[in-house]
Structure 1
């Protein structure tokens, strides 16, 4: 047998963190946020509760990390499709709406996000941490909007910032609506596409009014 590779401290900690995230994701998705305990997550990951708290401050922080990883995974499915798509607005919008329809069908992730947001309403510290995560989401949305904007529309200024935040907020609301089965994933995708197109037209009208 060959010599087993000895993990560095950083590699060992990273592996432990991923084990905990994997276990937490499975339990959160199947049992829900409130029904899942820290002890159950540690046991499922084959780790101690102390190891869990060495990586995450609390259950809320662990849940937020699970949600962020899930969102990153979903966005990672969109970027290659956008890169491969022809450079015309109609095709790119079609790529976006088809991706959103598939993502909106990810009910376990959406339901977890809704549970998490409700759980932190009275926790100012966790709300502040979540706000930082949302800002990173807004930054990603800004990059995506820039890809959709025609060349004659500027990507700077208060108008584009309002557009990004409005689209992200609309997407969040639509995601919760899909998770609650108030609307279908297809309806959610259509509404998101309409919102993006509305803001593109608004940005163009604002630019033309200034000229």
Structure 2
């Protein structure tokens, strides 16, 4: 029988952290943010409450890691879905719509958790700052995806690009909230609204590039 590998201190801590995040995810999704205690998460992971505080300073910090892990996985799937297309705008928009319907909107639990977390940190400026920092990666990913549709070598107006990024993300957030709250209509067309918003902003960015090119040629 092969000898069992002895984990280093760093490996052991990384394993504990991963187990705590997985346990927190299960309980947060099943019971909600407010009804889940750190003690319950520790018990679910088979760890002590001390192990929780050794890895996360608060329930808010642990919840943010759960949401970050979920969002990272979903963003990775979106990038892979877009990469698997033939590169045309039509195919990419179809991939985005399919990802939205089957990867994001198919499971409300993470979206509900995100809403509960967001409300819980409204008055916590330090945790809000950490949340904003965590979101920067996804904002940058959206920026890259939009830039990828511009003509080769073209540079979009920086201010307009920011408007486009936040316009698309703001629309997506509103549609997700509407889905979770039941405000969206029964014949949910949120993926169509999202892709139409993306097309609108790509049109604005394309017009901006065209205008800049024309002025430069004069």
TM-score w.r.t. the length of structure 2 is: 0.91
Q: In the aligned structure 1, how far is the partner of 2:76 from the partner of 2:44?
A: 27
Match of 2:192 in 1: 190
Counterpart of 2:15 in 1: which secondary structure?
A: helix
Q: Residue 100 of structure 1 corresponds to which residue in structure 2?
A: 100
Structure 2 CA distance for aligned equivalents of residues 139 and 181 of structure 1:
30
CA distance in 1, matches of 2:119, 2:47: 28
Question: Which aligned segments of 4 or more residues in structure 1 are displaced greater than 4 angstroms?
Answer: none
Whether contact under 8 Å (1:21, 1:62) holds in the other structure is yes
SS of match in other structure, 2:148: helix
SS in 2 for 1:64: helix
- TM-score using structure 1 length: 0.93
- Cα-to-partner distance string for 1:50-108 (whole Å, 9 max, x where unaligned): 11111111000100100110111111222222111101111111101110112122200
Counterparts of 1:90 and 1:206 in 2: how far apart (Å)? 21
The total of aligned residue pairs comes to 211
Aligned positions of 1:1-211 closer than 5 A: 1-102=1-102, 103-151=104-152, 154-155=155-156, 157-183=158-184, 186-210=188-212, 211=214
5+ residue gaps, structure 2, are none
Q: Please tell me whether the aligned partners of residues 101 and 191 of structure 2 are also in contact (alpha carbons under 8 angstroms).
A: yes
Instruction: Please report how far the alpha carbon of residue 146 of structure 1 lies from its aligned counterpart in structure 2 after TM superposition.
Output: 2.5
Structure 2 SS opposite 1:148: coil
Structure 1 gaps of 5+ residues are: none
CA contact (8 A) 1:25 1:66 kept: yes
**Shift, 1:149, TM fit:** 3.5
SS of residue in 2 equivalent to 1:44: helix
